[in-house]
Amino acid sequence: MRIVFFGTGRFGLPTFDSIRGDRHEIALVVTQPDRPRGRNLETMPTIIKQAALDAGLPVFSPEDVNTPESVARIAACQADLGYVVAYGQKIGADVRGVFPAGTVNLHGSLLPAWRGAAPVQWAVINGDAESGVTVFRLVDRMDAGPILTQRRTAIGVDETADELHDRLAHIGCDAVRAALELLSRNPQTPGTPQDESAATRARKLNKADGLIRFDTPAAALANRVCGLWSWPGANCRFVSRDGKRDERVTLARAVRYEGRGSGGEPGTISDVMSVATVDGDLMILEIKPAGGRLMAWQDFVNGRRVQPGDRFVPIELGE
């Protein structure tokens, strides 16, 4: 098939490479415009644009993909199919209408679960046992179109959202390959309607979501820590019992401590270096001090000479 590839973020990179390696042709890559990035705010291309340029493919980076000029540019490719993955703009009906086989999207959840901007993070935060990817036909409503293919995978007990995101991006290659095979045989393959009664929302995360408290059940807190990594992160402050150390930290990975809970005040560190919550203890596995590197919890304990009675305390937004 002749395909127009719409993508911006790194979630789309594995399928970009996979489609190029199969017998399909990418006629055009549509991606977001170059933006200032990094500490120096240097204007840089998206990861997908750079990959397309490296591959010698034509690139189109409109501010608005739905203008008449954009639609005409895309239609001029005379492609069979539009493929969308982590693009960053809504694809309107006029754009979808230029493709005889329609427009499909790769989404990082088992739709209809977790429709929206942050499906991977919310699956981990919610403590879901499994996740997956879905290839579906785009319609006007977000993530609501008929399903063509899905692939499932278990979520690891201490797997972070970043890790699951990258695994799903690769699992998506098989789902997309199967969907393109279906559409190659029958471009009008309708797909299976989603069960609206099972739909859940995955709203975009914000900085306030990263302000954690320890007066929370241990299992839920562990899921939240893993689901918030790497942005916005599970943020709090580490305070030594003598008051000499008070620093902002981000918890990056944690599990519910399987031993007997310490029974201490929530946030207090026990003699086995677990942290008290309302119903047991949390065992931190990785932590990142503000301005520092990600490190194992034991390295933090050794470097700060953490003692029982030291504690983690909440921070306020903007602190």
SS3 content of the chain, % helix, strand, coil (to 5): 30, 30, 45
d(CA 48, CA 60): 11
Domain that holds residue 274: 207-313
Question: Which phi and psi angles does 267 have, rounded to 5°?
Answer: 95, -10
**What secondary structure letter does DSSP report for 9?**
S
Report mean pLDDT in 10-residue bins for the chain, 319 residues: 98 97 95 88 94 98 98 98 98 98 99 99 99 99 98 99 99 98 98 98 98 97 99 98 95 94 92 95 98 98 97 89
What pLDDT is stored for residue 213 in this prediction? 97
pLDDT digits (tens, 9 = 90+) for 29-45: 999 999 988 778 889 99
CATH code for position 223: 3.10.25.10
Question: Which of 139, 172, 202 is where one domain is finished?
Answer: 202
Same domain, 271 and 250: yes
Query: In 157-310, where does DSSP find H-type helix?
Result: 161-185, 218-228, 297-304
Q: Provide the number of structural domains found in the chain.
A: 2
Alpha-carbon torsion (191, 139, 171, 195), positive or negative:
negative
Same domain, 19 and 145: yes
pLDDT digits (tens, 9 = 90+) for 126-185: 999 999 999 999 999 999 999 999 999 999 999 999 999 999 999 999 999 999 999 999
Same domain, 85 and 192: yes
Same domain, 230 and 197: no
d(CA 149, CA 182): 9
- With CA atoms as reference, report the closest residue to 292 among 242, 204, 233, 240: 233
- The whole model's pTM is what? 0.96
